Amino acid sequence: MKYLSEYRDPELVEQYVTELHKTVTRPWTIMEVCGGQTHSLVKNGILNMLPEAVQMVHGPGCPVCVTPLHLIDKAVYLAEKKGVILCSFGDMLRVPGSKRSLLEAKANGADVRILYSPLEAVKLAQAHPDREIVFFAVGFETTAPANALSVLHAHRLGLKNYSILASHVLVPPAIEAVINDKEAKIEGFLAAGHVCTIMGIDEYYPIADKYDVPVVVTGFEPVDLLQGILMTVRQLEQGKHFLDNQYSRVVKPEGNPEARRVIEQVFKVTDREWRGIGMIPMSGYEVRKEFADYDANVKFNVHIEKVAENIECIAGQVLKGIKKPHECPQFGKKCTPQTPLGAPMVSSEGACAAYYHFAKAMEEEIIF
C-alpha cells in the first residue's frame, strides 16, 4: 500500500458499485464479521450504495461486545474488592456489567486505568512492586501477541505482581457458530483482514468447503470493502464457494509466524462463552499452566455468579446477523452510548454504536 487515499478513491468506489449493480441478479445476504468493517461500511455510506439485492448483516467480530458479563463483573470485583490496579483498553470501561461498569467502579474510587498497550501495564508492575497489576486482556487473535508478550516480559523480569484477565476469542469458530444457527441465513462472509494478518488463512478453507459458502478475506477501507463484496457476489452468482483474499497486500497465507509462535507459547485453545451468543467450543484462548502465575483467574480464584442479560437488549441477535441495531425497540431510546443496555452500543467496533453515531449516513433507515 503506497497511499491510504488509493483505497478511498471515489472513482474506484464508483467502478465497484457499478460492477456490483451489473453482476447481481438475485438477493444475497453477506456478513462482514469484523466490527471495524461494520463501522467503515456505515460511516462511509457504503450500505446505501449497494444494490438493494445485496444485504449486509453485521457479525460477532467485536471482542468487547462478546466479553462475558460475569468476566466484566470479575474485573470490577478485582478493582473494588482486591485493591488491584485494573488496566484496560478504553473500550472496556463503559461496557455494562450486571451491576456497574469499570468506569463506574473508577468513579467510586477503584484504581482503574486506561492503557494503550499491555506492556505499559508491565511497566506499572515494575513501578509499583507493592501493588497487584491486572491487565484485562480482551481481543481476537489480533491482540493476543501483545498480551502474550506482556506475560513473557513480566516472566523474564521476575515480576510477581503482574497478571492478565484473559478474554480472547477466535474468529473461525464464531463463523461456524453463526452458520449453524438456525435463525441466521448467511450466504457469504467477509473475513477480518487484521486477524488473518496474524493467523494466516488456512483455517478458512475448511469452512468454505464444509458449508458451501464463499469466504473473502477483506480489508477496511471503502475500496477494500466494495471489492470484497463484489468478489463474494461473483462467487454466489456463479454457484461457487471458496476462500479468496482481497487483502493480499497485507495478509499472507502463513500470517505472521513469529506472532503465532508467541501466542502458542503463552495460550492454549479452550471453550469460551460469548456474551449474547453462548458457549462456543474451542473458540478462545486461556493462559497455559506454565504461566499460571500470570493468570488472574488462577491467582485470585474469584468465583462470580453468572447472571442473565438485560431482557430488553437484543445484542445477541445483532451479533449473529439476525437483526440490525435499529430493529431493537430500545435503540436510541433506553439504549444510547450514555445509557447502554448492551456492549455493542459503547464499543468502538459495536454495530449499535456505528448505527447511532453515523445515523445521518443511514437516515432513511434509522428513526429514533
Q: Is the distance from CB of 336 to CB of 297 less than 8 angstroms?
A: no
Rounded Cα distance between 190 and 192, Å, is 7
Q: List the one residue out of 97, 178, 100, 138 whose CA is nearest residue 343.
A: 97
- pTM of the predicted model as reported, rounded to 2 decimal places: 0.93
In the chain, the percentage of residues whose pLDDT exceeds 90 is: 88
Say if residue 362's pLDDT is above 70: no
Q: Is the distance from CB of 325 to CB of 342 less than 8 angstroms?
A: no
Rounded Cα distance between 301 and 249, Å, is 44
Can you read off the three cell numbers belonging to residue 302? Answer: 474469584
For residues 239-266, b (16+ Cβ closer than 10 Å) or e, as one string? eebebbbbbeeebeeebbeebbebbeeb
Q: Roughly what angle, to the nearest 10 degrees, separates helices 144-157 and 257-266?
A: 60
Q: Is the distance from CB of 61 to CB of 192 less than 8 angstroms?
A: yes
Q: Is the dihedral of CA 197, 199, 200, 203 positive or negative?
A: negative
Can you read off the three cell numbers belonging to residue 19? Answer: 460492477
Q: What is the mean pLDDT of residues 115-130?
A: 97
What does the pLDDT look like over 156-215, one tens digit per residue?
A: 999 999 999 999 999 999 999 999 999 999 999 999 999 999 999 999 999 999 999 999
Rounded Cα distance between 228 and 235, Å, is 11
Q: Is the distance from CB of 108 to CB of 134 less than 8 angstroms?
A: no
Long-range contacts of range 44-48, CB-CB < 8 Å, 24 or more positions apart? Answer: 44/222, 44/361, 45/361, 45/362, 46/222, 46/225, 46/226, 47/361, 47/362, 48/361, 48/362, 48/364
What does the pLDDT look like over 243-253, one tens digit per residue?
A: 999 999 999 99
Phi, psi of 265 (to 5 degrees): -70, -40
Q: CB under 8 Å to 162, separation ≥6 — which residues?
A: 121, 122, 125, 133, 135, 150, 154, 294
Q: What is the mean pLDDT of residues 1-7?
A: 67
Please tell me the predicted confidence (pLDDT) of residue 365: 52
Mean pLDDT score of the chain, rounded to an integer? 94
